[in-house]
Amino acid sequence: MELFETIAKRHSYRGPFRDEPVPLEHLRKIVEAGLLAPSGENAQTTTFVIVDDPVKVQAVASMPYNKAMQQAKAYIACVVDKHPASVYENMTFQTEDCAAAVENILLAVTALGYATVWIDGWLRVNGHAETIGRLLNVPDDKVVRVILPIGTPAREVVSKAVKKPFDERAWFNQYGGTQ
């Protein structure tokens, strides 16, 4: 799929998945897209756990949330440090590093015909991140910051989010300026 088509076709998908596995080579390829993302000082701080063991998939799926989380054939857990060390002038870029990797992964998922949704807020409530971290043997000094349920969508992936028009969010040469 051409890049701009992939960007346009990427939408958060929270619906059901078909009962079809996601092949290991596709999961690898998807995560390799994440590994290629930029990171502050090239520190490559985000690490990934690919979950395709049916027992573990079932354990994550049993946590009540949307259909995508409950019917995913695999998950990608994106892991960061709980207390990130500074990489440059007292700064840490772990949130940004993780976000860049996740976006690459979302695009790779879309390009391969699968669907997913960026799940972050849900992880931070009711101990969800900790529960999944324990299941995946994530070390105590790290946290699952984003989880991506992956599968072949059983419904068409359509945009549910209205995006503001260009003129409301982007300008040339000065903030809020007109051409």
Ligand X SMILES: Cc1cc2nc3c(=O)[nH]c(=O)nc-3n(C[C@H](O)[C@H](O)[C@H](O)COP(=O)(O)O)c2cc1C
Q: What is the DSSP letter of 5?
A: H
Nearer to ligand X, 21 or 65 (CB): 65
Residue 21 C-beta: closest distance to ligand X, Å: 23
Q: In angstroms, what is the minimal distance from the CB of 132 to ligand X?
A: 13
Which tokens is 4 given? 């701009």
Binding-residue pattern over the window 49 to 68 for ligand X, x denoting contact by CB under 6 A: -----------------x--
Q: What is the largest CA-CA distance in the chain?
A: 57
- Look up residue 54 and give its two tokens: 């049916």
CB atoms inside a 10 Å sphere around CB 126: 11
Looking at 12, 70, 71, 152, which residue binds ligand X (CB under 6 A)? Answer: 12
Piece of 7-15, 30-38, 43-51, 77-85 that binds ligand X (CB under 6 A): 7-15
Residues 6+ apart with CB under 8 A from 90: none
Work out which of 3, 55, 161, 170 binds ligand X, going by CB under 6 A. Answer: 161
120 near ligand X (CB under 6 A): yes
Cα-Cα-Cα-Cα dihedral of 131, 75, 138, 101, to 10°? -120
Residue 170 interacts with ligand X (CB under 6 A): yes or no: no
Closest CA to 149 of 3, 8, 22, 35: 22
Contacts of ligand X in 79-118 (CB under 6 A): 117-118
Residues that bind ligand X (CB under 6 A): 11-12, 14, 66, 117-122, 159, 161
